[in-house]
Structure formats: C-alpha cells, structure tokens
Structure 1
C-alpha cells in the first residue's frame, strides 16, 4: 500500500506539470488567434488562407476550394462572382500537403456549410512514405488544436514589421507575369496509372467521407499544367473519382475548349497559369457550377454587398496585371525578332 501511494505521488508531479503546460498552450493559442484576427498583416502569408476563411461571414460560402498553388492561381472566386454570383472561396496554400488540406477543410467547416467542395489534385501525387505521413500528421494535428505553433512567427513580424503579403481575392492570387510554355503536347494517351501514396489516399478518403456525411458534393479538378500533369495521372484520378462518387474535371484535356494560349496564359513555363489563364478557367468553372449544382446567385443579396466592393478591387488588380503582361509579351516579341 505504501508503495502504491509513493508511485501515485511520483506520478502526480508530472501530471500537474503537464496539465499546467497544456493550459498555458491553450491560453497562448487563444491569444494568438485573437491577435491574428485583429492584425492579419502580421500573419505569415502562407497561413493567411487559414485566417481569411475564418473571417468570412458564417455560412456565406457555397463553394470551397482546397489545394496547393495550382488552386489559388487558377480558380478565381470573384471572376465567378462577376459572371454567376456564386459565393466561393479558395483555401489553397503554396505546397499545401494533404494533411494540411484535411485540417484546413475541418477548420473551414467549423464556420461554413458549403454545398460543394472542390479539390485541386496536384497535391494528391506528393510522394509520402509511412514515416513521413506519420510525422506530418502529428505536426498538422498539433497546429490544428494548438494554433500557437502555427502562428508563432507573428511575434517576429510584429517586432520586425510585417512581411510583404500576397493580396488574396477570396483566396485567389492575381499573377501578373508571363513565361510562355513551348513544350508542345503533354497529354499523350496511355493505360499506365500514376502511383498515389497510401497516406495521401487515406486522407483523401477521410475528406470525401467527411463531405458525404455533411451532404456536400465533391469535385476534383486538375488545373492546366504541363509541368505537373500527364495521362497516367489522369487515369489514376479518373479511377479514384469513379470509386468514390466524385466529379472529376481534367482541364489538361480541355485546353482548346478553354482557349488556353500557352504563349500568353502561362505564368512560369507551364507550371501555373497567370491571370489571363485563370480568367478562362474560372469562367468555365462558374458556368459548370451553375449548370450542374443548385447554387444561389447572391449578386443582388444585400448580405453580400461587400462582395461587389471586392470585385472593384479585383478588377483594378486584374487590369493592372493584364497591362503588365502585355508589356512583357511585347518585350518577348521584340527579343525574338532580333
């Protein structure tokens, strides 16, 4: 009996310490989240989508988009708003990994009830072994429950001054550079399938199950990108979508239909689209969403009046970007003629 009491006393101290530590982390997390909402300029640019979706009015987003940089350079919510009045938002991040996508989706669904969730598929082919997957799962789980670890760099930005921020238009980033792609055809038919890691497949399965439970439709889409896509990936994604009851749009097979001009619409030699290419894809996507899903046109809804104001800012940025692209294209033409 004496030994048991001694063991309990021995365990009590670390248990109390752990409880105090967790309370401190929770308090710091609440403090940093509150600080981030009041001073978003101090939040690291890559983490701004995490914050921005929380700042959207509750249950105002009908279409939620997730993925890596292929998502926020191709899907323009305000372009779709102009044309169709659909309220959409992009929660994409540079190099967003599937574990981040999962927790970004969970975070967004705490304040939003979208009718459609859209996944850009490039991140589904990130190579991950079991050890890497486990490590990333731990890291992102900690970030989700204890945001202080996600936002800790705010102190540095607060002391040194905010870093130069990307400007997000409902999650979309206006890209004003052009570097033509001249590599020719890249979607050559094959029966081959590209490998999708078990870790990625597991997280995708969980996200699709989460959407099904909430009655949310799912679309997978592959942005036009010669650097990132091929027909083997198309086959894998087609199989996965069919097996899981999701829609799949492969815009790499639709570049002519979209009117993609690789001389003008490529941001960086076939990796991403610039704003010209994004306009084309977004207009198509807006029409597709309007035709296939029961989504409300909110343009005349007074609750969405700020969206019309945001469109004005977006259009100004869009015009400036197009002017810059035209200057670059003229320079490239003259250089080619020499």
Structure 2
C-alpha cells in the first residue's frame, strides 16, 4: 500500500509530465502557425538562398555542396552547369558546423537523389571547444524541432489565412546558393602553406559527424568528396595532413585546391574578395572548373544542357553572365590590410558572419551584406 508521501510524489510527477506534454504540444502548434510557408525573404525564411534546393523539382539535383562561407564563396554551380551540364546547389551558411551539414544532406535526400555530396573541409576546424560545439549543435536541433523559437518575431505579420497552409517551397534562386562577388582585394602576404609532417587533428566530435555523413552518403548511393578551397586565413599543411589521413583511411576523395593553386591558375592578386579570406566569383570559377572536371571523370552524370526539362538552368546561367558583365559586385567592401590576416591558425572567420540571404544576382530578390 502506497504511503501518503509516495502518492504525493506520484501526483507531482504526473503534473510535471502533463505540463511538459502540454508545453510541447503548444510549441509544436505555435511553430506550425508561425513557420514560413515559403522559402523566400518575403515569407521571413532564414537563409533562403542556402535552402533554395527545397524548391527544385524532385530528383533533379546531381551534386549537393555543404560547408561554411568558404563553400558559398568558393563554388559556382552555374559554371559547373555551363561547362559540364550537371546540376548542383550550395547549402552553405556562416560558420556552419558539420552537424548542420549532415542535417542539410538529410533534408536534401527527402526530395533529391544527388550522386555527389561535397563537403568543404574548412568547417572541420571551426575554432570552438567540444562543449561549445555540443551546445551550439543542440541549440540548432532544438530550433529545427520548434521553429517558433527561431521565428517568434513573425507573430507581428501573423495572417490566419496563410498560417494554416501547408509548406510549399517555390522560391527560385539563380545563384544556386553561391554568393557572387566581383570585388578584387588581393592578398600580398607571404606564402602560408609550408610543408610539414605535423597533424592538426580534427575534433573527435567532428570526426564522428564526418563518419555519419559518409555512412549517409553510402546508404543513399552518393559519393562523398572532401574539397578544400584556397584560404589564406585558415588553412595549413598540418590540417591538410589530418584531413588527408582521414580521407585515405575511409576511401574518400580529397581535393585540396590550396595545394593546387598553380594547377588551376589561381592567384591571390585577382581571386579573393577580401585579401585571402574568401574567394570572389573569379576564384570560384577556377575551383568549380577543376572540381567539375574531376566529377565528370569519376562519376557518371547526364549532360542535361540540351534537356528541355532543364531549360530553366540555362535561363539562370544567362542571369549569371548578365550580372558578371555588369561588374559582378554585390556590394562595395574593403578587405583587411594586405598581409594582415596571415595567422595560420585563426578563428574560423575573423569577421562576424551574416546570414546568407537573398540572391546576389536575381533582381527579384534583395541581397543582404555578408562576410
């Protein structure tokens, strides 16, 4: 027979569980009402350009690219389309952690069957300790589950007529996730890649997530490719060695273009928008031509340039070229003093990253300043 004390404990536990369940139901309900029903700026979607792949027709994406700002600055889906005829999209966000990359790939796989997934490896050295990584990743997962926490300000634009509608993503971004900048701010410092046998080991938490991503790709018939774009501010030979060790151990291709700058015709005088931190559209083109040729040589992908079903991609390329002819400048910016940022092991990005929003060369969508 239960004592009065035991009954009181059970009663309090029941109340607590009931409160938590009701709270969760309320959070889910309000999240559904407030979350954007379209993936564009007008709907209040966070990072719409990075999520534009959600609008693509089912099973039309060949290559999916994830990573931080080096990814969305360092690749050009339109150049790969024009030269090789396969479709690609960049889901890159500032200081993106690999856990976020895994979730982006999982989301992509709900509607697409990419044959290739590219991970830009700079994110493997995000300058955070394990506790910070766990906390930030947990926060992101909570925001994914309860979007009201991310979109709580949308109550000001609350419309009962649209709030109950199902999500229907239709925003089309000509840039396919790329941040296009024609700004040329050269790096004139010393050579920062010095050969060594040392290893700058990857955070074990990131290694586990990388294992998870590799397994996810294999399960879904996609080839994972690791790519490092040139980056004067963050990349070192010790980091190359550690990533290369992992790639060899797991049978994953690793293209370190920081070691192939001469081969791809890359120059810090012309191919950076901020003195060595990020690439501009000219550097992105050189990276994309090399990576695109590698994919063409190693993965069987249909050349869709003459396929009428993909005519929209040709239209997007026309928009891309028009923008470049107009100067390619999304914004006027000043880079750091030449040679100033040559610390081989700095923060992930020396300046605060802004959300990757808008389409830098689609006149119908406003572009927002980012680093």
TM-score normalised per structure 2: 0.78
Residue number in structure 2 paired with 1:309: 315
After superposition, give the CA deviation of every residue in 1:265-316 in whole Å (9 maximum; x if it has no partner).
1111111111111111112222211111011112222322221221121111
Per the TM alignment, residue 219 of structure 1 is displaced from its structure 2 partner at its CA by 0.4
SS of residue paired to 2:12: helix
Residue number in structure 2 paired with 1:162: none
Residue number in structure 1 paired with 2:293: 287
Q: 1:79–1:279: 8 Å Cα contact kept in structure 2?
A: yes
Residue number in structure 2 paired with 1:16: 18
SS of residue paired to 1:73: helix
Residue number in structure 1 paired with 2:180: 174
Residue number in structure 1 paired with 2:347: none
Greater share of residues in helix = 1
Per the TM alignment, residue 7 of structure 1 is displaced from its structure 2 partner at its CA by 4.1
Q: 2:30 aligns with which of 28, 31, 36?
A: 28
Structure 1, unpaired ranges of 5+: 160-166, 329-338
* 1:53 counterpart = 2:53: yes
Q: 1:62–1:86: 8 Å Cα contact kept in structure 2?
A: yes
Query: CA distance change for structure 1 residues 59 and 31 in 2, over 3 Å: closer, same or farther?
Result: farther
Per the TM alignment, residue 71 of structure 1 is displaced from its structure 2 partner at its CA by 0.5
Q: 1:44–1:154: 8 Å Cα contact kept in structure 2?
A: no
Query: CA distance change for structure 1 residues 286 and 155 in 2, over 3 Å: closer, same or farther?
Result: farther
Q: In structure 1, how many angstroms separate the alpha carbons of the residues matched to 2:63 and 2:226?
A: 13
Q: In structure 2, how many angstroms separate the alpha carbons of the residues matched to 1:277 and 1:264?
A: 8
After superposition, give the CA deviation of every residue in 1:121-148 in whole Å (9 maximum; x if it has no partner).
0010123333223212311221222233
Residue number in structure 2 paired with 1:73: 73
Q: 1:127–1:197: 8 Å Cα contact kept in structure 2?
A: no
Query: CA distance change for structure 1 residues 230 and 154 in 2, over 3 Å: closer, same or farther?
Result: farther
110-119 or 24-33: which moved more?
24-33
* 1:117 counterpart = 2:117: yes
Per the TM alignment, residue 111 of structure 1 is displaced from its structure 2 partner at its CA by 1.9
* 1:132 counterpart = 2:132: yes
The structure whose RCO (Cα within 8 Å, separation 6+) is larger is 2
Query: CA distance change for structure 1 residues 173 and 311 in 2, over 3 Å: closer, same or farther?
Result: same
TM-score normalised per structure 1: 0.85
Q: 2:121–2:226: 8 Å Cα contact kept in structure 1?
A: yes
Per the TM alignment, residue 220 of structure 1 is displaced from its structure 2 partner at its CA by 0.3
Q: 2:34–2:158: 8 Å Cα contact kept in structure 1?
A: no
Q: RMSD of the alignment, in Å?
A: 2.5
Structure 2, unpaired ranges of 5+: 160-172, 335-371
SS of residue paired to 1:91: strand
